[in-house]
Structure 1
């Protein structure tokens, strides 16, 4: 297995492990030739294989990676290169800053109909591009769908994809490669994978996005699936039942095709003028989110401590800009109306045990994706993001400008309020970017048609940059401004005392 710092084929440096799946380990890496970040899949070959089986697996993996490299679309992770190191293939891919859809559901609960349909539409587009090229994905599921921090939806892991060309020796000969719960009934019976089986898996993914689990869980075979279909569909929101019934048809010959599925999904993504977007936050969704947040908090190192007026944090952290004077004292009730008085919510310390410490609003839900921490206000009107990244010689203002150039294209009505360095204490380098925009896009939680205001701050301490992201619905910006100022004031960057 690879190690951090290792140089693959004298070009691709392994930075840190991102996760391990059935095909191997995925690393965040750096292309030293082109000076760009990449994702690197290290293919792990079981020791139990014979030398012939080992050679066959290496050849098929490299072949499938080359097939995936033929796909060039914004909804598909790009494959850049296949490197041979130590007799094993290493697949070099586009690095997409993102959360997988299953992590989004675990952290936030089930999604609204509009948001789920938007994601499904983009995955359907990715599948249509792949199928037109003669490639079947074979493992469509929430874990393989990435929701980019810039709003991009990407289908990943074509590592077990296979050709569908007639007579192609690479075509599958049966078996049920894929993930239980998202595997089409005919494939469970040994029928080779085809475009229709990918569409069934898309339907199962859409169902899980709004219900919280895949359909027909615990059923066995096509007959039991058919007998339970009506009962399963009744669990889904009414607006989605037509497209789900078509995609989840047991008989592949009768299954809904991509054209009709896109028409039904588009109607949900772009409702008639004047219709309000549907946002479902049922009890199941809230329970899932609370459980996920509680689990994340329980495993975190350090834990919580209430910030009190006499807390030393009132002195402000090293590198933090001098905070503006508070607008007002805490309001007795956190009204959500635009006319509500400004409020400074109560904060708690969060210490992740890795050198930084933050004061975050009490009662907000925590979700953790690798090293990116997000706290969400229970009603979804505000979000606080925090991560620490290496500087690698980069200037925070330049980084913010790069982020702006990329992310501003994914939202509507983008407007820059300001971007540049700001005054800071003790000579630390601090830059801020403030903007307004309208969803969807940008963040996975953004709601279509809702206006947001966002402030992102970068603080350089030593060889690390702390990135603090504060996003609020535009109507609530002034009301929650005192809370934002407190969060920024109390943050303790790595390498500082406190």
Structure 2
């Protein structure tokens, strides 16, 4: 397991480094001997980052020592024991117990996937370890098979490599302004640069269980961009081998962290499987299941009541003309690590507003133009109107957040749009476009349609493959907007051209005072946080003018 013959070194006057056990992005792990206590130990020597200034390097070292000492306070049979934290020159070293055995990744590579019982045992032990760490305010942030050791003689499961752990209230141990972690096992909220917490570790454990059961992560793809899309958007295809533990795996791989199974409940379910051979349902109806009512993150007053309507329902939804109810919008995710790859891939020749808006269903709501792509063009973009419309009362005008401005659109509504967005139109659709048309905000007002907002969105989703090139991962969610029935449709598609690249759409439809309102935001995959903000603020601030009521 080690590389014999390396130069023997003694650090801190007592730890003799004897052979390398492994090397990773965080540093080198050595088999060593504690000469003072005459015991075998493992020493992790953190790598030197030559890109840091002397001051940054000192700050990083201080954080490492402070936070590694906090991790050393953890005492649990399934968490690696940290004996000491020392310095070798300017380089921090963590002294840990030496586990005689390989990693879970090694075991899978050598012997193939685990059976459900062994996977449940490992998962339950890891959940117990995470409960202890989270109670102490420590997040692991890099749970994956390579960081789980299995002791050869006893089968004891040990969670190791807290090297990028985060202590509550502290900056990250390795913080240099870059993403840390393993993308295939990283929770979507971390991937999109949003909040992180104990639930993010539980997502990683769900991905680990899938890997243990099937031999491969469900999010493995050929590129970082593909991994980002798989984690944040794509339908999660559970491996057949996960069937015995499916309630747990599904509950842990819930994209909304507020609905994700917690560690205690997931552990209870796995231990019940070990006792009875059957996995019980989650005790909470809201844990890890679609169909529960919860507040949709953001400022908008809409609340999903059931998500991911069955595909059979989408397929059988009554349809009118293929795109007669086509709202449209595309959502995107902002990956701290991977977005740069996607954005670079998308960068190329600009696509004009006319080309993007002409006779296409994927970038807007309602009935598209009957003209061919080369025919009728939308009006050229103009500066967004900002003076109050004569029919809008001051009491009804929304307030613009910082960086936004209120526009009183001649189509009969007011709302807040980001500063610098310009107006364009196509038939009964109004667009507000960012410079370069990266973000496209659309609004359509029309007469109510049969079945209300939910039926409209179901018909649009059913027609999605015919109106949106590469349409995928579509889902319709019944919700409300200010107490009124509404429906949210989101999907991914290939964009109008190779230069434009993949895009994702958010689209909310609701009825108000005898009219149907449709608001959507479209952006490249890789820019979700910003697109989501634009979407939430647009939905939250839209006020109809009296003449449309």
Q: 1:239 aligns with which of 237, 241, 244?
A: 244
Q: 2:166 aligns with which of 119, 142, 162?
A: 162
Q: 2:272 aligns with which of 262, 267, 279?
A: 267
Q: Does 1:258 align with 2:257?
A: no
After the TM superposition, which residues 87-486 of structure 1 pair with which residues of structure 2 at under 5 Å, given as runs? 87-149=90-152, 150-165=154-169, 168=170, 176-218=179-221, 219=226, 221=228, 225-229=232-236, 232-271=237-276
* Residue of structure 2 equivalent to 1:309: none
Q: Deviations over 1:349-404 (max 9, x none)?
A: xxxxxxxxxxxxxxxxxxxxxxxxxxxxxxxxxxxxxxxxxxxxxxxxxxxxxxxx
What secondary structure sits across from 1:228 in the alignment? coil
Distance 1:3 1:75 in 2: 31
Q: What is the deviation of 1:238?
A: 1.3
* Residue of structure 2 equivalent to 1:439: none
* Residue of structure 1 equivalent to 2:533: none
Where does structure 1 differ by over 6 angstroms across 4 or more consecutive aligned residues?
171-174
What secondary structure sits across from 1:42 in the alignment? strand
TM-score under structure 2 normalisation?
A: 0.46
Does the 8 Å contact 1:84/1:90 carry over to 2?
A: yes
What secondary structure sits across from 2:205 in the alignment? helix
Does the 8 Å contact 1:17/1:27 carry over to 2?
A: yes
Cα–Cα, structure 1 residues 174 and 135, in superposed 2: closer, same or farther, change >3 Å?
Answer: farther
Distance 1:200 1:221 in 2: 14
Structure 1: gaps (5+ residues)? 274-498
Q: Deviations over 1:147-178 (max 9, x none)?
A: 0012110000111111124xx45698996421
* Residue of structure 1 equivalent to 2:28: 25
Distance 1:119 1:107 in 2: 17
Q: What is the deviation of 1:242?
A: 1.1
Distance 1:111 1:26 in 2: 27
Cα–Cα, structure 1 residues 82 and 255, in superposed 2: closer, same or farther, change >3 Å?
Answer: same
Q: Deviations over 1:216-272 (max 9, x none)?
A: 33345578745412xx11534311211111000011111111122112211222225
Distance 1:102 1:182 in 2: 13
Distance 1:253 1:77 in 2: 29
Does the 8 Å contact 2:127/2:264 carry over to 1?
A: no
Distance 1:138 1:223 in 2: 19
Does the 8 Å contact 2:219/2:230 carry over to 1?
A: no
Distance 1:22 1:255 in 2: 30
Distance 2:65 2:13 in 1: 19
Larger radius of gyration: 2
* Residue of structure 1 equivalent to 2:60: 57
TM-score under structure 1 normalisation?
A: 0.51
Distance 1:29 1:40 in 2: 7
What secondary structure sits across from 2:276 in the alignment? coil
Structure 2: gaps (5+ residues)? 279-549
* Residue of structure 1 equivalent to 2:41: 38
* Residue of structure 1 equivalent to 2:329: none
* Residue of structure 2 equivalent to 1:428: none
* Number of equivalences: 268
Cα–Cα, structure 1 residues 267 and 24, in superposed 2: closer, same or farther, change >3 Å?
Answer: same
Does the 8 Å contact 2:142/2:164 carry over to 1?
A: yes
Distance 2:187 2:241 in 1: 19
What secondary structure sits across from 1:20 in the alignment? strand
Distance 2:38 2:86 in 1: 17
Does the 8 Å contact 1:123/1:155 carry over to 2?
A: yes
Cα–Cα, structure 1 residues 184 and 175, in superposed 2: closer, same or farther, change >3 Å?
Answer: farther
Cα–Cα, structure 1 residues 92 and 239, in superposed 2: closer, same or farther, change >3 Å?
Answer: same
